[in-house]
């Protein structure tokens, strides 16, 4: 099939003359999701047109990077003669593409990666049952975020730090991760962008002695941090999130990324995490009230790296997940629709 993958088109915050590429230069979950899914489609023999990430280096001859990032340019390309031979548009842009502006009859589906209802619910696939329930939908397909093991180095011997990797925000539970690490007597490495200064100041005031702030990471540094950590901390909190709805962790890219490296996950039950963490780690309650005994026993009982990686690949391997989407592409081409 000739598949268009549309990523969320975003400019690099520190260098707006460039677009975030696939894979991304730094923090950007959707761009990693698209990178791993593209790998899966290519292994299944499909041709991919990547829209929304100008400047991306194609990973294979079967990839065409379309030079369109502005929303109007993306719609124009989808309506151009070049796009006339496309079989299906798979839209990860979370509302940038309006399906009503596509050429008549062009097969279309989207994948939702935010909390709350999608802007265009037609033919939307969710990353978790919790996310789908929050969108008040009970018929749409649920397909997990995939991971290509070739992109994530396995490491059996771990260092003794815990890792927080992501946006440093209240709903992502960075403060609670620091509280847990402090109770467990471990250092917490905190990697990611910080746009909420008061929140970060509160973390450093209460747990600064055991937190190593390393800023946003990319490339080998990011992989090294993930693969060496004792555990990835994903203590997502069901507090008010960025779009005026209670945060429900939608799919959590870092869970499959950590697990593919053999790094177990400690997560709350918020959103998707109750569905995916038990296979690769341990679920702990929301909030920051961890006793020393509780935190230490959670760390001591984590599953081993081999079991974690095997569980991740069984469930979320990029080819396994690409086959699930391939079946949905065929359904959409056959005229199936859902909202
Ligand atoms: N990430 C990164 N560098 C950082 C922090 C995060 O590359 O400094 C990546 C991380 O590996 C993951 C993504 O950003 O792929 C975060 O996605 P996730 O779904 O975990 O969180 P959200 O999209 O909700 O922020």
ipTM: 0.98
Q: What pLDDT was estimated at residue 240? A: 87
Neighbours of 86 (CB within 10 A): 18
164 Cα to the center of ligand 1, angstroms: 10
> Ligand 1 in contact with 26 (CB < 6 A)?
yes
CA-CA distance, 15 to 179, in Å (whole number)? 34
Considering the domain architecture, whether residues 76 and 139 belong to the same structural domain is answered as yes
Considering the domain architecture, whether residues 328 and 198 belong to the same structural domain is answered as no
Where does the chain have alpha helices with state H? 29-43, 71-78, 129-134, 174-184, 197-207, 219-228, 253-260, 273-276, 292-300, 305-316, 318-333
Q: What pLDDT was estimated at residue 257? A: 98
> Ligand 1 in contact with 163 (CB < 6 A)?
no
Q: What pLDDT was estimated at residue 241? A: 80
Peptide bond before residue 23 is cis, with ω within 30 degrees of 0: yes
CA-CA distance, 337 to 335, in Å (whole number)? 6
CA-CA distance, 191 to 211, in Å (whole number)? 10
Q: Nearest to residue 332, comparing CAs of 102, 144, 68, 70?
A: 102
Here the CATH number for the domain that contains residue 305 is 3.40.50.2000
CA-CA distance, 266 to 253, in Å (whole number)? 14
Q: What is the pLDDT of residues 238-284, one digit of tens each?
A: 998 887 899 999 999 999 999 999 999 999 999 999 999 999 999 99
Range(s) of the domain holding residue 136: 2-146+317-334
Nearest residue (by CA) to ligand 1, atom 3, is 27
Q: What pLDDT was estimated at residue 75? A: 98
Task: Please tell me which residue, 34 or 245, carries the higher pLDDT value.
Answer: 34
Residue 131 has pLDDT above 90, yes or no: yes
CA-CA distance, 310 to 194, in Å (whole number)? 33
Considering the domain architecture, whether residues 236 and 100 belong to the same structural domain is answered as no
| 205 lies in some domain | yes
Considering the domain architecture, whether residues 201 and 304 belong to the same structural domain is answered as yes
């Amino acid at each position: 099939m000739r598949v268009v993958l549309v990523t969320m088109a975003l400019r690099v915050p520190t260098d707006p003359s460039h677009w975030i590429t696939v894979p991304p230069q730094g923090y950007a979950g959707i761009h990693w999701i698209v990178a791993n899914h593209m790998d899966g489609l290519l292994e299944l023999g499909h041709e991919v047109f990547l829209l929304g990430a100008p400047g991306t280096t194609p990973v294979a001859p079967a990839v065409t990077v379309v030079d369109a990032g502005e929303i109007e340019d993306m719609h124009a390309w989808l309506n151009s003669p070049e796009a006339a031979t496309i079989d299906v548009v798979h839209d990860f842009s979370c509302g940038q593409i309006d399906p009503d502006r596509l050429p008549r009859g062009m097969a279309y589906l989207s994948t939702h990666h935010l909390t709350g209802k999608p802007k265009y619910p037609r033919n939307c696939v969710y990353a978790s049952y919790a996310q789908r329930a929050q969108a008040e939908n009970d018929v749409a397909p649920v397909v997990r975020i995939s991971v290509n093991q070739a992109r994530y180095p396995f490491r059996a011997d771990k260092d003794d730090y815990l890792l927080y990797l992501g946006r440093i925000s209240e709903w992502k539970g960075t403060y609670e991760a620091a509280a847990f690490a402090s109770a467990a007597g471990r250092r917490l490495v905190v990697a990611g962008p910080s746009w909420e200064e008061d929140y970060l100041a509160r973390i450093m005031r209460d747990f600064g002695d055991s937190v190593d702030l390393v800023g946003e990471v990319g490339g080998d540094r990011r992989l090294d941090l993930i693969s060496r950590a004792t555990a990835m901390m994903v203590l997502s909190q069901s507090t008010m999130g960025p779009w005026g709805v209670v945060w429900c962790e939608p799919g959590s890219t870092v869970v499959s990324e950590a697990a593919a490296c053999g790094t177990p996950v400690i997560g709350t039950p918020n959103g998707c995490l109750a569905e995916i963490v038990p296979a690769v780690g341990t679920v702990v309650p929301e909030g920051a009230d961890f006793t020393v005994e509780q935190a230490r026993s959670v760390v001591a009982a984590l599953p081993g790296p081999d079991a974690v990686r095997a569980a991740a690949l069984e469930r979320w391997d990029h080819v396994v997940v690409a086959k699930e989407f391939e079946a949905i592409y065929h359904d959409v081409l056959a005229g199936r629709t859902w909202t």
